[in-house]
Amino acid sequence: MSSRAGILITGTEVLTGIISDRNGPWLSERLREIGVDAAQIQIVGDRPDDLLAALEFMASQELSLIVTSGGLGPTADDLTAEIVGRFAGREMVLDPELEERIAEILRPMMKRWPGLDLEAIRASNRKQAVIPEGATVLEPVGTAPGLVVPPASGSGPTVVVLPGPPREMQPMWETARATDAFRAAIAGATTYRRGIVRLFGIPESEIANTLRAAEAEGLQLETLEITTCLRRGEIEIATRYEPPAQDDYDGLIAFIVQRHADTLFSQDGSTIDEQVAALLAGHTIAVAESCTGGMLAARLTDRGGSSAYFAGGVVAYSNEAKVALVRVDPDLIARFGAVSTEVAEALAVGAIERFAAGIGVGITGIAGPGGGTEEKPVGLVCFSVATSEGEKITRSVRLPGDRADIRDRATTVSMHLLRRLLRGEAKLPLPGPNDARGSAAAPPGSAGAEADAARS
């Protein structure tokens, strides 16, 4: 049996776009892991009628589970528990022990803010202890308890009620999963397997062609649920299948490997960030960035433990900084311009020297919106990755999109160049189209432009 679930995100601040929802995608991934399909994610404001209509629509779609997030706070517009109680046909009752436990949580917090109106806070939080009768309480991570609410009538979806802040919601999800009421709701769900492969430097339409070709050659694909998407300039092929379809999946992957060996960089679902982090073990790296303004350094230090290999970085935004901090030869800037492969190489070498690192990255480009010329348009970014032994890869790439896209995509290109360098593939030709400026082996980044244009 395939069990389907609905995810209901509440909160006017999410609906109106003031904050973006991270919980819907997170819950969707967690549900998939336990064999439950998210049939829909719905975002509604803090309006009782809209909330109830969304729950009833989900029930009409024969979903076995609904997970809600948000609307458990102390203010009057937080009304998820009450509406879910009404939906499930359950009375709202005060749980006095829960009330006391919430008061315990608030006590130290109130001490640290001596100016607060204690009674008002206590009153508004008492509301959080009023819950649907017969619901399973999930202990608060912040101050809000969660709930698992089965239908009073015995038929209809079970509702898991979780708080909105991700750091409260995520641990509480684990608690919810362990409850009997949750297990009963998803009893009999199929366990799926999931595989992800990733490619870089190829347009999405080529993958569509490959899938058509695979079918034409007689590969069995109907048992596979295949999703392809562009993500930060890379193509991700995610496939879900039931265990008996393992051979079909293996056949598909073999077919992709054969056709796209040059652009396929991950067969095991690992990301480029994970791969580069693993490849950097035992090395040290330093960066000198211009247009990315620190984003590559930030990306390289995203992971705990990165201090083992990350020596440091310079954001050399001005020419003076390039010269003074990274010791780029000012003549080079005068002759070739700040945005040039020559300066990118000097930045990479300078980073190595200044931080006494084994590997250096130099990035210089035009992120826009201003500063572009006909010869050096907005989106032109020059990269160099080098080792202290003199191995290097240097590329000039025209990246698509706006300033934020160009800066982000430039970090992705850097990561892929780093991977090639660290794998000793500096001398292999790079995949991708012939670029407009006539070099034979074109940069991987420019593929992003095509892939974006092909996708709708």
Judge if the upstream peptide bond of residue 369 is cis by omega within 30 degrees of 0: yes
Nearer to its own copies, 245 or 296 (CB): 296
* Positions in 108-127 near its own copies (CB under 8 A): 109, 112-114, 116-117, 120-121, 124
Nearer to its own copies, 142 or 151 (CB): 142
Q: Where are the beta strands (DSSP E) in 261-358?
A: 264-266, 285-289, 310-315
* Positions in 195-224 near its own copies (CB under 8 A): 203, 205-206, 208-209, 212
CB of 46 to its own copies, least distance (A): 8
Q: Considering only 84-92, 129-137, 274-282, 306-314, which stretch makes contact with its own copies by CB under 8 A? A: 306-314
Token pair of 241 as six digits: 């299948």
Question: Which x/- pattern, by CB under 8 A, does the window 142-161 give for its own copies?
Answer: xxx-----------------
Judging by beta carbons within 10 Å of its beta carbon (0-12, 13-18, 19+), is residue 55 exposed, middle or buried?
Answer: buried
CB of 234 to its own copies, least distance (A): 11
Instruction: Tell me: does residue 255 bind its own copies (CB under 8 A).
Output: no
What CA–CA distance (Å, rounded) separates 168 from 9? 15
Nearer to its own copies, 43 or 385 (CB): 43
Nearer to its own copies, 245 or 367 (CB): 367
Beta bridge partners of 68: 8, 161
Helix axes 80-88, 48-60, angle to 10 degrees: 40
Question: Which x/- pattern, by CB under 8 A, does the window 367-386 give for its own copies?
Answer: xxxx----------------
CB of 170 to its own copies, least distance (A): 10
Which one among 362, 401, 443, 445 touches its own copies, defined by CB under 8 A?
401
Q: Which of 211, 234, 230 is nearest to 432 (CA)?
A: 234
Instruction: Tell me: does residue 239 bind its own copies (CB under 8 A).
Output: no
Q: Considering only 73-81, 183-191, 275-283, 421-429, which stretch makes contact with its own copies by CB under 8 A? A: 73-81
Instruction: Tell me: does residue 454 bind its own copies (CB under 8 A).
Output: yes
Given a contact cutoff of 8 angstroms between Cβ atoms, the answer to whether 44 and 60 are in contact is no
Nearer to its own copies, 170 or 341 (CB): 170
Given a contact cutoff of 8 angstroms between Cβ atoms, the answer to whether 433 and 442 are in contact is yes
Q: Which of 269, 276, 236 is nearest to 385 (CA)?
A: 276
Nearer to its own copies, 92 or 321 (CB): 321
Nearer to its own copies, 219 or 426 (CB): 219
Instruction: Tell me: does residue 234 bind its own copies (CB under 8 A).
Output: no
Amino acid (one-letter) located at 123: A
Instruction: Tell me: does residue 441 bind its own copies (CB under 8 A).
Output: no
Q: Which of 452, 448, 288 is nearest to 365 (CA)?
A: 288
CA angle (367, 368, 372) in 5-degree steps: 105
Beta bridge partners of 364: 382
Nearer to its own copies, 124 or 223 (CB): 124
CB of 395 to its own copies, least distance (A): 17
Tell me how many residues contact its own copies (CB under 8 A): 122
Given a contact cutoff of 8 angstroms between Cβ atoms, the answer to whether 343 and 349 are in contact is no
Instruction: Tell me: does residue 39 bind its own copies (CB under 8 A).
Output: yes
Q: Which residues contact 318 (CB under 8 A, 6 or more apart)?
A: none
Instruction: Tell me: does residue 34 bind its own copies (CB under 8 A).
Output: no
What CA–CA distance (Å, rounded) separates 303 from 188? 37
* Positions in 83-102 near its own copies (CB under 8 A): none
